[in-house]
Structure 1
Amino acid sequence: ADSLAISYLWGGGETSRFITIDSTDTYIVTVFNTRCAGSDSIHVEFRPTFNGLAIGVLDSTDTVCDGEPMRFTGITSRSVVDWMWSFGDGDTDTAQVSEHSYVSGGNYTVELEATYLCGQDSITDLFSETVKITQTPSVELGADTFACTDVVQIRPQENDDFGYDYRWFFGGEELEKGYELTVTEEGMYRLFVNNDGCTTEDSIQVFFSTEFVIPNVFTPNSDGVNDYFRIQVTPECHDFDEMSVYNRWGTLVFFTQRPLFEAWNGYNQAGEKLSPGMYFYQLSGPDGSFRGTVSLLSE
């Protein structure tokens, strides 16, 4: 201002040399000195403050697991014309409020580009935040186990315990914690694995089978009940490699080299149905030799 100026008058009535403004407007000031007066104006456009982004889990838990949906929200009082989310895993979205889930654990940098109008100008702000995704454990106990002894160790099929929290249950009661469990009783065992709040589970049925049964009667009448002469044995626990069946005259009527998997249906090797009566079997292999009789009944 001119050094001869003695007073100021702003459009809003202020008379100080400086004023504080907080909104977009055209501001006019008139300056007076002892001889004359002059006016000028300036238009001030405020660039709005963008409030940023908000990230939250849909179920409001503290831990976010892989595969769990999250809500991402751009927060502003301005009229945004374009939204662009980048979730750090290659996926993007253009909605103000977006739901996204991650397929694996890790730290991801989430970025939001918000474009809005400021007067005639288009302005883009960039915001970012890091989210931590916890990996849900993968656990597989495998198929049901037939134990050939009176004790067996069960454990996940993974090669490493990864430091997770392992809890074993049997009959509704918690047994112990640990990657491996010693089992001495038949039944269903459940394993719960926890990684910082992300959990999974699996179960396995344990059977103890140290004996085998050779039936002494069967009824091959196609009623679906006891139609075969079959060695009742757990293949993992016993080893027999031949079984022969003879009639009362010593004629071979059935033979197999897979006695643990093949059964006699009451027919001879020519495919002829045999008469009811008593037959003689011989079972042999590394586990020993066994001889006995079996009755073929018609009913």
Structure 2
Amino acid sequence: AGSCANESVITRTWTLTDECNNTTTLVQTITIVDTTGPTLITPLDLPSSVICSNVPDVPELSFEDDCSTNNITVVFEETSTFTGTEEIYDLIWTWTATDECGNDTVITHTISVVTENFTEEIEADRCTEDGLIDLYEFLPNGADTSIEWVVVTDGITIIDGIFDPLEVEIGDYVFTYTVSNNGCLNTYEVTIHVNEDCIVLPCGEDDLKISKAVTPNGDSYNEYFTVGGVEECGFIVDIKIFNRFGDIVFESRDYQNDWNGQSPSGSVGSAGRLPNGTYYYVIEIKDSGIKPLAGPLYLGTK
């Protein structure tokens, strides 16, 4: 037997005998050795020159072998002469097919690639008080975010793609981000216009108007406990009402200015109405930056 399954030795023996019983023996030895690599059977229809945006997909090549029918392995390797500055570079594709006896067939194809540079301009307005700006948020979904931004505007620095408008003067600031794909350079040029046109929401603590008394007597005055001054900002108001013993007698998330002294349990006072007296509120204006507010509230009929 040879060094692989398809190698073997065939021995043929002939014995010649004459009428006097004299014999002569002839031996023929045939050694079968597989030294031929697999044969490519897939048409290799590939261009020799393309622009970077038209580089074809790598084809899957098929091979056959006279001695190895199933045990053929194919390894693909791609090498490139592109270093980032060439206008034309070579893309070398190599397929190595190996049979079970270790015989190789190497197929190589070289594509000459012409590079291109695409630039997408992005502009954004930001106020000095808008907070930190993550430049990576301007990139499309799925973009490679492992590359560093280039600061085009002199005199400023960024760390990990974070730009702070509070640290610069009013003006325009330009940053670029370049991604290479087969020599196609996709550059995103982001221009941020830093200004002082900050929107100030009229919803500070001084703008709040909180009821001091609730007198649900039908005269349309102080009929409900109201929290005003936050309507334009769309903030959500959470409230809790306590009696003088510290018990919660009413609470609401996303309060709609609709409490008139009723107790949700319906078991206190006339028709579920709380007794007259002084109560205490705690108000939280969600996501407003305003600290929780607390104070007294008079509930009566006059």
TM-score (normalizing by structure 2): 0.30
Give the structure with the larger strand fraction. Answer: 1
- Which has the higher relative contact order, 1 or 2, with Cα contacts under 8 A spaced 6 or more apart? 2
